[in-house]
Amino acid sequence: MARANRRLTRDARYGKYVDGPDPLAAPVDLKEALDEIGDDVMAGYSPERAMREFLRRGGRDQAGLDDLARRVAEKRRELAQKHNLDGTLQEIKELLEKAVLAERKQLARDVEMDDGDRTLAEMQLENLPASPAAAVSELNGYEWQSSEAREDFEKIKDLLGREMLDQRFAGMKNALENATDDDRAAINAMLDDLNQLLEAHRRGEAGQEQFDEFMAQHGDFFPENPQTIEELLDTLAQRSAAAQRMRNSMTQEQRDELDALAQQAFGSPELMQSLAELDGNLQALRPGEDWGGSERMDGEEGLGLGDGTGVFQDIADLDDLAEQLAQSYNGSRMDDLDLDKISRQLGDEAAVDARTLQQLEKALRDSGTLKRGTDGQLKLTPKAMRQLGKALLRDVANTISGRQGNREVQQAGAAGERSGATREWTFGDTEPWDVTRTITNAITRSAGSGGSTDGGVRIEIGDVEVQETEARTQACVALLVDTSFSMAMDGRWVPMKRTALALHTLITSRFRGDDLQLIACGRHAEVMDIEQLTGLDAMYAKGTNLHHALLLANRHFRKHPNAQPVLLIVTDGEPTSHLESSGEVYFAYPPHPLTIAHAVRELDNAMRLGARTTFFRLGDDPGLARFVQSMAKRAGGTVVAPELDDLGAAVVGSYLGSRRGTDGGAAGGSGGSFWGGRGFWAG
């Protein structure tokens, strides 16, 4: 048994999983993608463009399209700079020089040869044309005295034939080395039958049956194993077009030399006639191939005709991949990437990167993260907004917890603190059930009425008791965010949006009784929902209308007379516009005293409504610092001057402190006092 197990182990073979997606592969992680896409959307990109940009950049541990495209460009450049197209001509020259040298040696040591014949032969060898084609043509009727020289000369014809065939049929050069007359006859028969098949196909007379008959007889010449005539055509046309591009890339002298030499291939012009006929059929059947391109090849490594054609095929593959990776054409998708071609040209690792990008795009489209709106454009779904908000809130929680030195603590967002007492449930109660008291009530009721509990306990509505909680003050929150020109110019646009989304997520998920209003404060103010604000393009109109924004905030506070007003103002500039009595916007810079007066009046109204006010000052402008300081002092509020990375934590921390009745921060300070207190759960 042990021997059998060892035999099974030794015979086991493992390979890549090819039957669909790898079932053991880890699922793609959308968190990083969603964070990156969310940031770009907040910066003003459309979701479609944001997704494209992420796929181009890639992630921390994931290559993107740009990296793959760079590798494609590098390999293409390397192929063009490494090679030249003189390989076959150089090989022919070497064989010719070797044959002539061997013949001269033989003439010198052949003492039995007639002196006149020797002199004539030496003169013919001495005066050979410089052109290899002309020299080969002149030596065609030469009577070789050296068997070694004769063999080298015959290799030239054999080499030409194999190179010409290798241009159209990959691998022929090696397969036909030391070919016999029977091998050459088989090649000629295959070419004749192939041309007949293609001509019949052009006329619409060749079907699958004719193709199968051809493959049954000549299939050994086609290791690609095409299954239809169309597959055969694709393979042959791509190779033939590459051969034509290689020819176009040669100098006129090189083309003339090869054309003259080609007539000597296999010692017969029949091969060239058949190949020319084949090229004509392929160009007629596949006119869409690139038959007219060319490439400059000026490297040091010579290419033979067959190998050169392969290089030109590689270049065509790389050009095709460059277009696929650019994703610049209408309707482009990651599914367009040819993974087999990427693996062949860049290796398996690059193919894995490309497949992961395909899976990322599919997951983003299929997971409910992105949806196509009525206008045909992709949009972030509410699910995506929630996921993004939770991620931002986790970052904020980590920042606050780090400064507190505490871990996050889960807090219920709707019911307040439990008092320990219970009471009977009444319609509208949202407090949690006291399960023990509820079941006890049901059992007592059943026993008192003579009922049995053998079949289980039946709970009726009168049995239910809920846990009493301490009354908790609800908050009415207005977040005023500056959307002026300077916010966009100084890189504060995205942090502002991230802050708004983090606060919105906290309130809607953990403090559902609170009411948040988001107010964008540009040259005029506007109430926005979170989707509208996060999708807002950078505003390049000058003006900060704090007066209008405070008017909207106070209206929001008045709608919730029983809630604690919380006023949070994020700005990087003094107010420079206000609303006139006519409803028109007045703008002036430097700020007009009337604009300041209007803003101060509405701030006083917010103070009378009991608003707890915090200013978040962005930037180091002295005029702004003096203005914000005086406004906060007047309203009995606080000033926080956070770094951009800390803006979200500062706003959320101030909100939590305000709704607990503690100060949002020390007036004129940097917000150090509001980090204390309990944490919150951002999960």
Residue 376: Cβ within 10 Å count: 7
Residue 410 pLDDT more than 80? no
Give residue-wise pLDDT tens across range 472-520.
568 899 999 988 888 878 788 888 888 888 888 888 877 888 899 999 9
pLDDT tens for 612-671 read 998 988 888 888 888 889 998 998 888 888 888 788 888 888 888 776 664 444 333 333
What pLDDT was estimated at residue 527? 94
Assess whether pLDDT exceeds 80 at residue 672. no
| Per-residue model confidence (pLDDT) at position 101 | 93
Contact 84, 307 (CB under 8 A): no
Identify the pLDDT of residue 452: 63
When pLDDT is cut at 50, 70 and 90, the band that residue 9 belongs to is: very low
Q: Give the angle subtended at the CA of 549 by the CAs of 544 and 552, to the nearest 5°.
A: 165
Report pLDDT digits (tens) over 549-558.
999 999 999 9
The pLDDT of residue 427 is: 63
Widest Cα–Cα separation across the chain: 142
Predicted pLDDT at 547:
93
Q: What is the pLDDT of residues 341-356, one digit of tens each?
A: 999 999 988 888 888 8
Q: Quick one: residue 97, left, alpha or beta (phi over 0 = left, psi -120 to 50 = alpha)?
A: alpha
Mean pLDDT of the residues in the chain: 80
Mean pLDDT of 288-316: 84
Ordered strands of the 515-521 beta sheet: 525-528, 515-521, 475-482, 564-571, 612-617, 638-640
Distance CA 408, CA 681 (A): 6
Please state, for a pLDDT cut of 90, what percent of the chain lies above it: 18
* Per-residue pLDDT at 460: 85
Rounded to the nearest 5 percent, the helix, strand and coil shares of the chain are: 60, 10, 30
pLDDT at 185 over 60: yes
Q: Average pLDDT of 584-589?
A: 89
Residue 406: per-residue pLDDT: 38
| pLDDT (tens digit per residue) in 41-64 | 766 676 777 788 888 888 877 888
Give per-residue pLDDT as tens, 159-175: 888 888 888 888 777 77
Is the pLDDT assigned to residue 1 strictly greater than 80? no
98-112, 189-203, 463-477: the lowest-pLDDT one: 463-477
**Domain residue limits, the chain:** 86-296, 418-469, 475-490+498-522+532-671
Domain 475-490+498-522+532-671: CATH superfamily is von Willebrand factor, type A domain (3.40.50.410)
What is the per-residue pLDDT for 469?
Answer: 63
Torsion of CA 61, 66, 69, 71, to 10 degrees: -50
Is 116's pLDDT higher than 80?
A: yes
Hey, which residues does 516 pair with through a beta bridge?
477
Give me the pLDDT at residue 602, please: 93
Distance between CA atoms of 407 and 199, rounded to whole angstroms? 79
Q: What average pLDDT score do residues 429-435 get?
A: 78
Q: b vs e for 53-85, b when ≥16 Cβ sit within 10 Å of the residue's Cβ?
A: bbbbebbeebbbbebbbebbeebbeebbeebbb
| 145-149, 252-256, 263-267: least confidently modelled range | 263-267
Q: Give the Cα separation of 168 and 191 in Å (integer).
A: 11
